[in-house]
């Protein structure tokens, strides 16, 4: 858990990804999920069409950024980073358990701990 405001959650997720890559993780091992506004990379790549976007996911060569609403389509990766960067509470409530199921070894959640605890109804 990396505490961050909704406005800072995406930056915190980016820093976590940088640290993971610097520590030797392969880019293809990392999936980043957003609960609010999409990551700029995802927005850019989706401008070329969904088929191209998901082909990059399937290739598994690079960090992949996805919106929480598409998480069920994402494959398992060793590391999943969730940026709770806004969106309705239902987005976070649905994304966090799915993200845990997609994380092969490590789940990193960036966001407001109070909000996350209230959404999940548990202490993290």
Positions of the chain with pLDDT lower than 70, given as ranges: 122-124
Give the sign of the dihedral formed by CA 100, CA 29, CA 110, CA 90: negative
Predicted local confidence at residue 120, as pLDDT: 77
Per the CB < 8 A criterion, the answer to whether 83 and 111 are in contact is yes
pLDDT of residue 117: 87
Is residue 68 within 8 Å of residue 118, measured between CB atoms? Answer: no
**Residue 100 CB: number of other CB atoms within 10 A?**
12
pTM: 0.94
Q: Are 105 and 23 in contact (CB under 8 A)?
A: no
């Amino acid at each position: 858990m990396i505490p961050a405001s909704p406005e800072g959650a995406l930056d915190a997720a980016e820093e976590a990804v940088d640290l993971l890559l610097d520590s030797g993780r392969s880019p293809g091992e990392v999936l980043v999920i957003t609960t609010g506004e999409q990551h700029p990379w995802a927005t850019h790549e989706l401008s070329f069409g969904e088929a191209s976007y998901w082909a990059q996911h399937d290739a598994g060569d690079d960090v992949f950024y996805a919106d929480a609403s598409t998480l069920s389509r994402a494959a398992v990766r060793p590391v999943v980073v969730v940026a709770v960067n806004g969106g309705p509470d239902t987005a976070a409530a649905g994304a966090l358990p799915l993200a845990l199921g997609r994380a092969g070894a490590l789940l990193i959640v960036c966001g407001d701990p109070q909000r996350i605890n209230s959404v999940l109804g548990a202490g993290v």
